[in-house]
C-alpha cells in the first residue's frame, strides 16, 4: 500500500469571483498567495515524492510550500469545463434551468459543452495512480478540486449524483492509500495546513 496526499492550490481571483476555472491557467491572487504562505505541511510528509499540476496556480502553490523540486504532471490538470470556463455556475443554473439540473444529475458523466466529465478525469488519473502504486514511494501532489473529488469518488465509490459522504475542505491535505493497482481508499481527510483552520 502506498500513500498519496492531495492538496488543492490556493485561491485565485476567479475563485473569489465564483467563476468556473477548469483547465484555464489562472494564477493565484494576492489573497491566495498570502493564504498559502500561512500553510505548513505536516512533518510526516517531508520525505514524500513531490508532483504538481502544470497549471500556474498549482506550481506557485507548490513553490510557496517549499516544494521547488516538484515535477509537473499534465494528468493532474483541472477538469476541462469547455464552453463554460470563466462563467459563473450560479448564472448558468439560472439561465439553463431544468436542462442544467438534468445535466448535473448525470453525476460522473456530467460534462459541459466541449468539456470533460469527472469520469474522464478519473480515466486520465488511473495511470498516474497506478504508477505511484508501482513505484511504492509515498507522494504528495498539488492539484485541483476536480482532481481531488475524482480520486475521492473512486475511493468511496461515490457516483457524484448527490452530496459527497464527506466535505472536502480547502486549505487542507487529503491522504489516500493506493492498492497495488492504484485503486485509492481514504486514509485521512481535511488535514489542516493552518493552526487556525476550521475543523
Q: Which residues are catalytic?
A: 9, 78
C-alpha count within 13 angstroms, C-beta hemisphere, residue 23: 15
For residue 22, give the C-alpha cell: 477548469
* Helical ranges in the chain per DSSP H: 13-17, 30-37, 56-64, 89-96, 98-104, 118-135, 145-156
CA-to-CA distance for 94 and 73, rounded, in angstroms?
36
Contact 73, 53 (CB under 8 A): yes
Amino acid at each position: 500500500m502506498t500513500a498519496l496526499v492531495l492538496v488543492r492550490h490556493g485561491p485565485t481571483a476567479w475563485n473569489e469571483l465564483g467563476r468556473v476555472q477548469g483547465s484555464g491557467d489562472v494564477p493565484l491572487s494576492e489573497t491566495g498567495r498570502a493564504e498559502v504562505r500561512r500553510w505548513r505541511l505536516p512533518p510526516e510528509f517531508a520525505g514524500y515524492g513531490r508532483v504538481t499540476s502544470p497549471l500556474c496556480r498549482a506550481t506557485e502553490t507548490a513553490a510557496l510550500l517549499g516544494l521547488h523540486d516538484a515535477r509537473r504532471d499534465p494528468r493532474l490538470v483541472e477538469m476541462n469545463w469547455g464552453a463554460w470556463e470563466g462563467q459563473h455556475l450560479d448564472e448558468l443554473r439560472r439561465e439553463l434551468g431544468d436542462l442544467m439540473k438534468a445535466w448535473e444529475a448525470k453525476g460522473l458523466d456530467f460534462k459541459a459543452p466541449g468539456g470533460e466529465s469527472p469520469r474522464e478525469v478519473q480515466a486520465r488519473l488511473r495511470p498516474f495512480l497506478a504508477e505511484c502504486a508501482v513505484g511504492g514511494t509515498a507522494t504528495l501532489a498539488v492539484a485541483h478540486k476536480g482532481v481531488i473529488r475524482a480520486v475521492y469518488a473512486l475511493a468511496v465509490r461515490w457516483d457524484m449524483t448527490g452530496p459527497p459522504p464527506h466535505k472536502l475542505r480547502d486549505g487542507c491535505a487529503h491522504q489516500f492509500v493506493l492498492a497495488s493497482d492504484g485503486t485509492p481508499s481514504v486514509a485521512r481527510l481535511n488535514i489542516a495546513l493552518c493552526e487556525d483552520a476550521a475543523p
